[in-house]
Amino acid sequence: MTRLGVGICGLGTVGAGTFNLIRTNAAEISRKTGTSVVVAQVGCRRDNPACDLSGVNVTRDIFEVTRNPDVDVIVELIGGTDTALELVKEAIAHGKHVVTANKALIAVHGEEIFRLAGAAGVSVRFEAAIAGGIPIVKSIREGLAANRIEFVAGIINGTSNFILTEMESAGNRSFEQVLQEAQELGYAEADPTFDIEGIDAAHKLTILSSIAFGVPLHFEAMYTEGISNITPADIRYAGELGYRIKHLGITRRREDGIELRVHPTLVAKETLLAQVDGVMNAVLVGSDAAGKTMYYGAGAGAGPTASSVVGDIIDIMRDSSAVANLGFVPEAIQPMPVIGIESVRCCYYLRLRAHDKPGVLARISTILSQHNISIESLIQKDVRQGAAPIVIITDDVTESELDRALAELGSLEEVDDAITRIRVESF
């Protein structure tokens, strides 16, 4: 029986979950690996009452953990990017493998980290950075390694999914009301910007795109749109048309590059993604040989995320040869252009308010037709205070063509307020 020393930096929710999981399942882990896994040191600003730290080497200086000769793997769970990057670089410089749950760190600084790790002959693992306990990185990088990945689409932020689910099930409750509930339940932070505006999902999708297509990390090129403008009316109309609104991260291979986008999306009710509710996550992967496969589970929490962290530690024990971090040998990572959102082609949900005058609907239809946009479905509601809601599902069209049509529609004197658009996807 060999020994592997783990240094945990950060003892918050995930750090405590990782510490306790290693302690609780030590015998099971050793049965699977032939290795005794021990927490050699913990670096944290304060103790966590959920952990029994008696007999454990605890330091308030997280960088001390990187210099400890008894530590073989550094588990970075402090969050943020500045100190975390410094910590990871020092760990690599000392010949330590790294496991992290820090999606922002990998999305923004992954290229530099992987380059340093490759030169040092150590591994950097990050399964826990995406979708909590769902082993999506391993599934794409290993389980689907024989496949050419065509697309990845997922619900990868539980907070946004909870809000949209509750807005639908609770009838006329507004986004602001449900967000407050999510904060009270602990599903949303006091400052929820990263979740509701899609930044958290964009970090995760950046990594998924790289491991799916073997391209550099392109966070800066991501198109990102949040859910704060979704109204109960949009959710109700989408339902009448046979759809549910989900906040999706979508990356797709095309002949001229890759799409990389996070935004609200109408998804047909009968699809698997549409049926993922609450704080749960799900990722759908399309590939040439395996076809469509979907991965579902808890996207956050101490237990699920710790499961992925410890899974990465076990992988390092089983293969200490510094496997290519993104699933492709470094020299095979090939730049591909990221397709601008204006060139993305899909169907669209449009909601506008138009005054009930003769010929208004005909003028709207004519403008769309002049821009080569066909109408697939249409709902026209009763007049309210002189203006009637009109909801349209278009056939597929490029974003730039739709932009031009919406600009012309918006100039009609019969059209009130801004026109709402939500993309529609079929998988």
Catalytic sites, residue numbers: 204
User: Residue 69 and residue 57: Cα distance in Å, rounded?
Assistant: 13
Residue 95 CB partners (closer than 8 Å, separation 6+): 120, 121, 122
Q: Where are the alpha helices (DSSP H) in 34-102?
A: 62-66, 82-93
Tokens 């020092």 appear where?
Answer: 90
User: Residue 45 and residue 62: Cα distance in Å, rounded?
Assistant: 8
Q: Report the candidate in 49, 15, 55, 92 with the shortest Cα–Cα distance to residue 325.
A: 92
The separation between the first and the last C-alpha atoms of the chain, rounded to the nearest angstrom, is 48
Whether the CB-CB separation of 315 and 137 falls below 8 Å is answered with no
Q: Report the candidate in 8, 140, 146 with the shortest Cα–Cα distance to residue 72.
A: 8
Q: Where are the alpha helices (DSSP H) in 125-284?
A: 136-138, 158-169, 175-184, 193-196, 199-213, 232-240
User: Residue 151 and residue 293: Cα distance in Å, rounded?
Assistant: 11
Token pair in block for residue 64: 């001390």
DSSP secondary structure string, 377-427? Answer: EEEEPPPBTTEEEEEEEE--EEHHHHHHHHHHHHT-TTEEEEEEEEEEE--
Question: How far is residue 390 from each of residues 241, 269, 343, 361, 411, measured CA to CA in Å?
Answer: 13, 21, 26, 9, 16
Whether the CB-CB separation of 393 and 375 falls below 8 Å is answered with yes
Q: Find the helix packing angle between 360-370 and 399-410, rounded to 10°.
A: 150
Tokens 């697939």 appear where?
Answer: 376
Q: Report the candidate in 156, 130, 125 with the shortest Cα–Cα distance to residue 327.
A: 125
User: Residue 70 and residue 342: Cα distance in Å, rounded?
Assistant: 53
